[in-house]
Amino acid sequence: MKQNSAEALALNVLAWLVGDEDLLPTFLGSTGMDGAELRARAGETEVLAAVLDFLMMNDEWVNRWAVETACEPTLVMQARQALPGAEQINWT
Residue 90, pLDDT above cutoff 80: no
Q: For residues 7 and 45, what is the distance between their CA atoms, to the nearest angstrom?
A: 7
Q: Is 32 left (phi over 0), alpha (psi -120 to 50) or beta?
A: left
pLDDT at 89: 46
Q: What is the mean pLDDT of the chain?
A: 90
How much is the pLDDT for 68?
96
